[in-house]
Structure 1
Amino acid sequence: MKALMTGLALLLFTGLGSATPADQPADSRLLPLQGAANVRDLGGYRTEDGRRVKWGLLYRGGALDKLTEHDQQHLQRLGLQRVVDLRSPAEIDDAPDRLPPDLLARRIELPVTAGNLDIRDLTRRIHAGDLASLDLQDILMEGNRSFVREHAGIFRDWLHGLLNDQSAPVLFHCTAGKDRTGYAAAVLLLALGVPEATVMQDYMASNQYLAEKNLRIAEQVRQASGGRTDPALLQSLLGVEPRYLQAAFDAMREEQGSVDAYLRQTLGLDDATRAGLQERFLEVATEAGS
């Protein structure tokens, strides 16, 4: 029970577990993995200048510690060249990635840590059913602000690494694939010129891809807490809401005046860097397909 509660708390915010493009069905985006949830292709999103993100180069996801042999074979067929792990050292120790040996050798860590979040207090509250007085939405919003302010250097390295490393296809992930990974996907898509509204759609898609898993987690927590924890109160924790990512966008504007200026000034995405990323990960969109 202790492990379950601690794992749930880490799922919330260790860095602080909807829509897809109209012309691409959801099952084209989600990878058919048996031991991992919310692992999906970022291809197909349209940019403001009419291009689209290439399919098969950029993947986002959740924990990879339970990958089956079938899953590993599937990742190998994708031709992955790099895995980027955004989890904290403690999370990695508790649940190391289960990858094919050649891919494991090409895995890198860019840890986003818990900051000032009191994991022990959150775990105690979940166990005691004392969540009503805890503003989980505010905690997650503050987490996204911390990505913008305290962790800017990590996400700067992440974006510049995509251009300089020349290792693609790449899969980047955290634990649930929704908070740290959601923010990483957001700044990447923005850098590629994808409209903010589409970026929000991709962020919110985690609710669709995690729905079944989150129902199981909520029931497990309810039982482990002796019925003291209301599963409904966990939905803010287990899913995502527009206000979470919007808090990051607002923090960018507070820091630099606009989202574009934040990308340019704080994350170092000048015209040449953005052009390099776009040349690598975008293509001309045809009229018939995305």
Structure 2
Amino acid sequence: MTITRVANGGRSAQRRRVENGVSAGRPMKSEPLAHLDKPVSGGVARALVISSGCCTEIVIPTADDVTRRQRYGRSVLDGQPNFRDLGGLRTVDGSLVLTGEIYRSGDLSALTDSDLSRLEDLGIRTVVDLRSDGEVDLQPDRLPSSATYHRLPILPGGAGSTADRFFETFDPADLPPWDDIYRSLIREESETLGSLIRMTSDPHERPLVFHCSAGKDRTGVAAALLLALLGVPWSAVEEDFLRSNAILGADRDRIMERWTSMFEGQNANPGADVDIGGNADHFLTVDSSYLDAARDEMIKRDGSVSTYTRRSLGITGNVRAMLRSQLLD
């Protein structure tokens, strides 16, 4: 089922028969991924993203060229401002990434009862948590009754690395350069990222939400890989990645309060006052250079982004075709 949010808060639903993981009546789409190896100029082709202080508006053309407007503001989930639909972008061949199938988010620990009801209304079947054990212990998710919970921890740099220590101790002194975190995600976490992408290709797991803590770094890399595999131009992938800045910036005070509380509650330094003001931008913003670093690491590792998705992530041509068949219109 494809669920499309409409302006009045209601939903329109379209059922599609799925046979052997592929939507019936739709040809398999398995175009080459050469567009991933260099940015495509022109930005978002026919999905216009407009950010303002409190919300983001996406203008999405439907298959019959009738334009609908979807508004995703701070009220989508009261307890998580960076929850958003991955759909609504155009691919290089003009297809549209379907809405109501895959969502990206920050952690779900502060969801209200109304938020849980909203997730149930969206039909969420699967929640995939990319956080470390330390993060989960301090701020466990609240889950809708409809969802199955999966852990796929991503530890940038691998076990024992500086980034790994940071995500377990939450000591700002352990915070590595952010570009290095993104490069290490590509080097060390390809197996986990591949597992997540394969999970999104299973129609029985969707609608699906995947998330980390802020929903911008580990989640941002995973979202970028999935959108790129679907054929979204890199410029549009990057624009979606950068949307976290406007969303998290609008909730700056509340987010910093939660991060500080989490740091002060970590086991390595219980009860200590933690000042992360100097590192605030790291926890609230992303930069295009971060995603560029990840992309450069893919090319350095395997020669091209497309080869990286196949060789390092283990995404076969069949899985890629299934993703495009199920998630594009």
TM-score of the two chains, using structure 2 as the length reference: 0.69
2:71 to 25, 28, 46: 28
Aligned to 1:144: 182
2:151 to 85, 103, 109: 109
Q: Determine the C-alpha separation between the residues in 2 that align with 1:93 and 1:228.
A: 19
Aligned to 2:240: 202
RMSD: 2.8
List runs of 5+ in structure 2 lacking aligned partners: 1-42, 51-56, 59-69, 265-272
Distance 1:275-1:64 versus aligned 2 partners, 3 A rule: same
Following superposition, the deviation at residue 271 of structure 1 comes to: 2.4
The percent of aligned pairs where both chains have the same amino acid is 37
Q: Determine the C-alpha separation between the residues in 1 that align with 2:205 and 2:295.
A: 28
1:258 to 285, 304, 321: 304
Letter in 1 for 2:171: T
Letter in 2 for 1:33: L
Between 257-266 and 244-253, the greater mean CA deviation after superposition: 257-266
Query: Deviations 1:12-70 (Å, cap 9, x if unpaired)?
Result: xxxxxxx9831772563456111112000111110011101001111000010111110
Q: Determine the C-alpha separation between the residues in 1 that align with 2:298 and 2:101.
A: 27
- For the residue of structure 2 that corresponds to 1:252, the secondary structure is helix
Distance 1:160-1:233 versus aligned 2 partners, 3 A rule: closer
Q: Determine the C-alpha separation between the residues in 2 that align with 1:68 and 1:218.
A: 19
List runs of 5+ in structure 1 lacking aligned partners: 1-18, 126-133, 284-290
Query: Deviations 1:186-243 (Å, cap 9, x if unpaired)?
Result: 111011111111111111000011013324455896xx9xx99684652134210011
Aligned to 2:133: 89
Q: Determine the C-alpha separation between the residues in 1 that align with 2:172 and 2:105.
A: 28
Following superposition, the deviation at residue 113 of structure 1 comes to: 2.2
Q: Assess if the C-alpha contact under 8 Å between 1:37 and 1:63 holds in 2.
A: no
Distance 1:68-1:152 versus aligned 2 partners, 3 A rule: same
Aligned to 2:53: none
Aligned to 1:244: 290
Letter in 2 for 1:279: S
Count of aligned residue pairs for this structure pair: 250
2:101 matches 1:75: no
Structure 1 segment 227-242 matched on structure 2, within 5 A: 231=277, 233-242=279-288
RCO comparison, higher one (Cα < 8 Å, 6+) = 1
Letter in 2 for 1:22: L
- For the residue of structure 1 that corresponds to 2:206, the secondary structure is coil
2:197 matches 1:159: yes
